[in-house]
């Protein structure tokens, strides 16, 4: 859609077809970035497309949930109310523990959210509230998660 004309960028059928075949919505006309079907199709293909959605759709739980289920870090682009929505944040953290970084302060202090985040990505503990950063059970979960990740890394040592 990058090289589409202004007329094409404002044509709903053209934009929808473009999105369904892999184009981003960043060059679509603003009115189409507020179109439920177009934006849901875009965030289904890549959750990061949420960044180009209208504010209304960034605040829509259904749309945001599709985005964070694909890419947890898409929580960054969600509306503030969504960053304080526990089911949304849990879904984001299940997909990518680092998404805790974008959660509301309240949910960064929520044991459930932090636990899910550190089980997925041990280093997510750094985004938790200070009281939870010192919690022995969460520290143990973070260490266990990090050790599992290290077991999946192939170390190649070059001969000297």
Q: Are 147 and 110 in a shared domain? A: yes
pTM of the model: 0.88
* Helices and strands counted in the chain (H then E): 11, 0
Q: What is the mean pLDDT of each run of 10 residues along the chain (160 residues)?
A: 88 95 93 98 97 98 98 98 98 98 98 97 94 92 78 52
- How far from chain centre, in Å, is Cα 94? 10
| The three-state (H, E, C) secondary structure of 80-111, written as one string | HHHHCCHHHHHHHHHHCHHHHHHCCHHHHCCH
Q: Are 132 and 56 in a shared domain? A: no
Q: Are 3 and 71 in a shared domain? A: yes
67, 40 Cβ separation under 8 angstroms: no
Map tokens 């070059």 to a residue. 158
Domain-ending residue, one of 28, 49, 83: 83
Position 74 scores a pLDDT of: 98
What is the extent of the structural domain holding 75? 1-83
The number of domains in the chain is 2
Position 150 scores a pLDDT of: 53
For residue 89 the two structure tokens come to 């944040």
Q: Cβ atoms within 10 A of the Cβ of 86, count?
A: 14
Domain-ending residue, one of 34, 59, 83: 83
At a CB cut-off of 8 Å and minimum separation 6, what does 21 contact?
none
Q: CA separation (Å) from 44 to 91, 107, 120, 123?
A: 15, 25, 22, 27
């Amino acid at each position: 859609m990058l090289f589409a004309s202004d007329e094409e960028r404002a044509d709903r059928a053209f934009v929808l077809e473009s999105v369904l075949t892999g184009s981003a919505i960043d060059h679509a006309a603003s009115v189409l970035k507020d179109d439920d079907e177009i934006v849901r199709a875009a965030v289904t293909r890549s959750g990061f497309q949420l960044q180009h959605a209208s504010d209304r759709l960034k605040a829509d739980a259904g749309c945001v949930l599709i985005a964070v289920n694909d890419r947890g870090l898409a929580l960054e682009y969600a509306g503030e109310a969504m960053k304080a929505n526990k089911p949304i944040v849990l879904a984001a953290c299940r997909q990518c523990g680092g998404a805790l970084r974008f959660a509301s302060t309240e949910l960064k202090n929520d044991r459930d959210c932090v636990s899910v985040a550190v089980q997925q990505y041990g280093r997510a503990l750094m985004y938790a509230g200070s009281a939870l950063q010192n919690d022995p059970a969460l520290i143990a979960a973070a260490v266990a998660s990090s050790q599992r990740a290290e077991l999946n890394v192939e170390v190649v040592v070059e001969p000297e």
